[in-house]
Amino acid sequence: MYKFQENNFQRNDKKQKIVRYNFPDILILIDFHLVDNLIFDDDINLECHPEYKNENGLKRIDESLINCVIDLSGYVNTRHGQNISIVPLICTENEKNLKSVGVLYELFSYLSLTKDSLVVSIGGGTMSDICGFAASTYLRGINFAIVPSTLLSMIDASVGGKNGVNFKNHKNIIGSFYFPRFITIIPELISFLDSIELLSGFAEYLKYLFISNNYKKVKNLIKNFESYKEKSKNSPQGSSDNLSRLCNFLVVYFNHNPDNILDAIKFKYRIVKGDERDSDKRHILNFGHTIGHAIEKNLSLPHGLSVLIGMLWETRISYLSGLITLNYYLNFLTALKTLGLPTSLNDLFQFPQICRNDFKRLISNKKKDILLSLKYDKKIEQNSLVLFLPQKRKGKHYRFAKARIDIMRFIDYLDDFLQVEINENEQEEKDI
């Protein structure tokens, strides 16, 4: 388990002086998908707003998880008589709207929360987005903490201080900057993620490796994966397909070496602290997200995998704009392929959870929407799209830096990429 509070990062086996808080009321909001068996101590009061009851009553919550959360990694002084309420929430992208925020306001009011209360979000990035925004705006801000349950939220969503909801089909267009009092990272939760969630988080981890120019770690990662594949082939329990092998490898990679997660968090935290209001340096974290958000919104694809395609396409745009060499782009593409990651929309739609038989029609119909959605992107300035792209420097050195790409040229590039996807899909159908 990791403890994270301001500039302090540590594992639970390392001693460090931390600030302990006293909260009269604690509201724990937990993703319904994590809810399992419920065993409460006598002094824990379970409150439930009518909005959250299902026909069978409340689902049950695992005792070990609750005990872990109540302890809150030593940041909270718990005592007899303290009001601790636990409420399961359904938090998907469909619920990421102002209506859900209004429901949370009703819950906060129902529980008589004050500015001294604490709201804890246990779940993925969508959960912390909604809960963080509600906490930041209720009473002009009440205490907030995060226990991220997905790899993506551990590495990305829990650290940035950004909270928000979607509005009129535009992603994260209403939001706030509001940092949690503390974050608790539990790497063991990675073992419970499905393949889509694992790969989505891994895509964000790769983004961290590339924008930090940590190519040595990329090479070691690929080397370790190749070694793992060879060993698993000879194992009776080994997986037969590359996707399963990769997912099994990721569980081992992050569980056995949780400092990999911490390194990514530290890197993002340093950038965020230098640009808390997202005005300049922090834009480097948007690598892959401009195209990724457009794909995610219009094709209903997972965030992390959409960003993965976004990173690949934005790297190609960097090459087409003369900012990097062809060799750099091909190395980037090869790294993704060697790791068994999808490198096209065609690849994504072959996942069992995503499978669509009408790929060609879907892309053709949505192509215009994908291109139009770029007009609402928050990174457009004076008819140019401001991107952080890989760029060649003196000698063999590369770094990610700000680049202005004419919006019409950018749309032409993206239009070409989508047409290539359609053509490749047609060819695959002919081959079949």
- Residue 322's pLDDT band (cuts 50, 70, 90): very high
pLDDT score of 236: 56
pLDDT, one tens digit per residue, over 30-66 is 887 776 433 333 444 444 333 333 443 333 344 445 5
pLDDT score of 293: 85
| pTM of the complete model | 0.83
Q: How far is CA 373 from CA 126, 291, 338, in A?
A: 21, 10, 32
Which range among 34-48, 140-154, 296-310 shows the weakest confidence by mean pLDDT? 34-48
Q: Which of 173, 186, 170, 104 shows the shortest CA–CA distance to 137?
A: 104
DSSP conformation class of 191: G
Highest mean pLDDT among 95-104, 270-279, 417-426: 95-104
Q: Which of 202, 186, 200, 196 shows the shortest CA–CA distance to 249?
A: 202
pLDDT score of 28: 86
pLDDT score of 25: 87
Q: Is the model more confident about 16 or about 41?
A: 16
Count of residues making up the chain: 432
66: tokens are 């609750």
Asked if the domains at 2-192 and 195-431 fall in one CATH topology, the answer is: no
Q: Check pLDDT > 50 for residue 333.
A: yes
pLDDT score of 344: 87
pLDDT score of 79: 62
Highest mean pLDDT among 121-130, 164-173, 281-290: 121-130
Q: Check pLDDT > 60 for residue 198.
A: yes
Highest mean pLDDT among 16-20, 81-85, 115-119, 244-248: 115-119
DSSP string of 56-103, one letter each residue: TBPPP--HHHHHHHHHGGGTB---TT-EEEEEEE---GGG-SHHHHHH
Contact 146, 128 (CB under 8 A): yes
pLDDT score of 357: 58
Mean pLDDT in the chain? 80
Mean pLDDT for the stretch of residues 154-176? 89
Q: Is the model more confident about 325 or about 294?
A: 325
Can you tell me the distance from the alpha carbon of 391 to that of 317, in angstroms, rounded to the nearest whole number?
A: 11
What share of the chain in percent tops pLDDT 70? 77
Q: Is the model more confident about 165 or about 231?
A: 165
pLDDT score of 49: 35
pLDDT score of 315: 94
pLDDT score of 72: 53
pLDDT score of 86: 79
pLDDT score of 193: 87
pLDDT score of 51: 38
pLDDT score of 81: 54
The verdict on domain 2-192 having CATH code 3.40.50.300 is no
In CATH terms, 195-431 corresponds, of 1.20.1090.10, 3.90.470.20, 3.30.450.20, 2.60.40.10, to 1.20.1090.10
Q: Check pLDDT > 60 for residue 71.
A: no
Delimit the domains of the chain by residue range.
2-192, 195-431
